[in-house]
Structure 1
């Protein structure tokens, strides 16, 4: 024995037997694992297909279940049951015929309280239900008793299986008048399921097959029935024309069966899903024998090839290891080179970022200078405007001051005469005039103040009042008629009070100067609100803006005044733009029209 093992031939035979045993064990083990995996995959596929079939069946049932409920409320139907006549029967026959065609129901018919069919959708066919007595059918007496019923059976006239959905029809006094019935046949659904090649059937709560892709299975059972139950089903459900024997199933592993007849012999994965609406259950048999055989064969071939190529795989693994080492060295060199490039690029980016930061800082400094310059320009425009209206404002102040002096002298005389009431009236008038002078000076002080703040809610009417308080004297001095439209109560815009007044004052000043040689000068101020925007319009009946100036109206130093600088409109437009609004010139056949458009304050 030792000499045999020491010889080369003996070693090869030992190796051959060893590897043969390993190959057999691998093939057997792989085949069993493949069998289990294939069985599990077949069961999963069957469950998926069952869920899809069940969804289709539920959809079909839901589409037809509402039909009897809707028809039970039909006034024509209730009228026929209450007072049957030939015209009502003919009208309902044609209505049922059209509904059956549209809803794909097999037949729709109505039974009176005795169970006799009065009208049916198949009234003009040889198998017409009209006049047939159905009082013995469960769907009739159960609907009368419970209000609705569903029942699957063979038709006594047509001999075709189908689901009967019925609902009680009650009169105005609640008394049952009859039953409306819709029969649904599932031939199209069975044909669709049959095309998938997977035997499918639906059973009721007793396990009786109702819908099936294998016609010979209909009204067979999935298990033994009690004698009394078998007799009732044979009479009510199959009209004595079906065999209630058990289906030819042979159980194998859990979820797997073999069929002994009726369909091609094979091993099937079995899955089911409930149809709770009717107490049914849908079953599907997915052919899996051939698939399992192929999976087992493939697994055994793979196992044998694996054993045969084990030695070769060792060499391949060694070769792959050498390649992995070479690739690792190349990767390391590439990583070092990449790091070098990243460092160089990072330095460039850092330098560019520093330069960009310097440019940003310079841009901020320039922007601040520009903003400061704009603020100074706006303030200069304010002071220039105040200079233009100073004479009128001074006159407006001098009048109440002179009146104050007169009333003071008068009050002194009244006091000497001991006329306290008259002196009190003079002093009251002095207070009112002093208050008016204070309002004018307060407005002057607020207008002349250098301000800059964020946009806030500003009352439109208050801003117009403040502007007119300053420019009003000049309007009266020039004899300009002011037409002021009504402003909506408590209307506010997003702006800044003093700068908004400055814009309106500039527009009014321009209008006053444009009306210098107009015989009947008129300025109109109008306010409108639309789509969250407030428009303040200032218009006059002057000569308007000349075409030469109109092209460059909002360009600095553009003006048609003899002593103007051409900055007022530019400054005003920038102020309004800072509020998020716009100042525009509106073409008009007469005079000049400017609009200030601002956002309405929330």
Structure 2
């Protein structure tokens, strides 16, 4: 009987071993193909985003060169290139447009390629006097109506994408406008990821990459023909071109693999590519296959372990079956062994009962751990709420504290000069500010839940007067002119006094930040009745305005365009919710003439006495 059982175990071990070999052989191939397909799907998404970003950046500027070329002053300049006054005028015009569009450079060339006006006329080096007739974007624009080219600037030594547009006069094409844009912002977003993105030209030379050590290397052999074509256009100026050590291979499923050997060692990448024919580029996403190999090995190991556990379980089952057969045989042979077997079975039941009790105890312990985890999560949520409230209080107290500090400094100076009455007045203002801060604290506390402050008629000119007391120091620091226009009669709105003042402080503070350091530092606050029982309050500045890319996010909590340490991004979010509690609306938009305009629309609510007098 033991010999028969041993033979079954040997056969079972042989079958399990054969299954493990099959899994290691065929399973490795299948798992590799599966995980490479998954990696390729992720890579195609990344590739699509990268290509979309590049196309979007190019499309943003491609029509601008022709618009500039159609400018009458540009046409007058190329018709009379010796006019120094017109050259100076066009230089300043190009510099202003270049700054406004956030491009790299704009310059004007005659038909011989000589630059006569440029946005960098006052910089060193400048393009003025340089001849760029060797660039494809120049002769393509002059001869065919449009030029596009990516290259390393021979003068600035900066990479950029060039657009060219012909300048047409009554006598025909008299010159070319060139427009250079910078793609470094897109490239910088590729760094620090678990994949590499590269962009190559038609010669296979990498000119954009998240890896700076790969720039100006070629993934194709640098044959004399390729080098000659690149040198003819001076695409990469004096940059040293070299071949990137690359070994190409392919999987049976058609996936392209690149093995790159560099200073970091040899790495294998799954390569996915997409052509950009409009720019004559090829965009590639390279995904490191190390993670795929780890996943494959983990899967194979798990399958082998599963087979081994299955074989062990089956062996245990065979062993138990054989023992049960032996017991039955013993029962048939000797009835006297019945009591002993009953005792053994009773012992087995007791063991099972013990195991069940242990399992019940383990489940109870798990339930206690789960409840503790839930309590910890609730506490973590409370701490997060307290952290957000602390950040909001810091933001809202910053301006009154600055005003109180100014009054305190003035009080010290007044006391030192014996002007005690004026010092007492400054201290009274500090006391008023501290009371205002306490009120703000109560309102910010209510901001976290449903506010319980009763709304009523508030006189707008009183609110603005108190607001300017707090904001006077900020407007003075920004050297801003503050103009108030409230119309002929007093305006009353339905609101809360302190919270409406909070809203105006936040909006005026943002306006002061916007105009600080600009040429036109005027902030205008106006209010008027709009009909249907509404009052509109507008605050307009002449700053740089709101970029379209972030216009939809300005009311999000903790979103700010200011530098580190200059704002938490809570002001507009809190103001929006306060105005909403008043039953009004708050909007912030780009003004058509430049700058930003914030509009608060509230219900008009005259005081009760005024209503009785009217009756």
When normalised by structure 2's length, the TM-score is 0.47
